Amino acid sequence: MVTGIAVVLCATAGAAVAQDVITQRRDGMKNMGRQMEAIKAVTDARGDTRPLVERIDTMLALYTGLPALFPAGSGTGETRALPAIWSDRAGFEQMDATMVTQLGVLRAAAAAGDVAATTAAYGQVGATCVACHRTYRGPAR
């Protein structure tokens, strides 16, 4: 009986941990949307891209550690993560690595103050957001 209670408590704690990591990655992604809007405002205005480096570093911080925010068992709950994240782990990690590479290109362009190159790299980054969501993010449920 005592063992039964311990098992229930452990299962509940596991679910709580999964929900924490889900909240963390969803908040992180929401922040990515805000960073992208801010970058677009500058490229649209053909403004100074150099201060954008700080925003791009914030983005790099999330994507560098993204796979760790999708541990096994975090595919259920308040999440749109698709099972493919775990069944095609190599593909998911490759997609994330592409994002990190493209953010490196964006960072270099922004640091150089090159508006045209920043605009082009921004487009590539945006396309990878869409590509990953198409494959690994499901409808709201």
Residue pair 106/76 in contact by the 8 Å Cβ criterion: no
Smallest distance, ligand HEC to C-beta of residue 71, A: 12
Asked whether position 121 contacts ligand HEC by CB under 6 A, the answer is no
Asked whether position 30 contacts ligand HEC by CB under 6 A, the answer is yes
Smallest distance, ligand HEC to C-beta of residue 64, A: 12
| Binding positions for ligand HEC, 76-95, rule CB under 6 A | 79-81, 92, 95
Asked whether position 102 contacts ligand HEC by CB under 6 A, the answer is no
Backbone angles phi, psi at 137, to 5 degrees: -120, 130
- Which are the contacts of 77, defined by CB distance < 8 A and separation ≥ 6? 15, 18, 19, 22
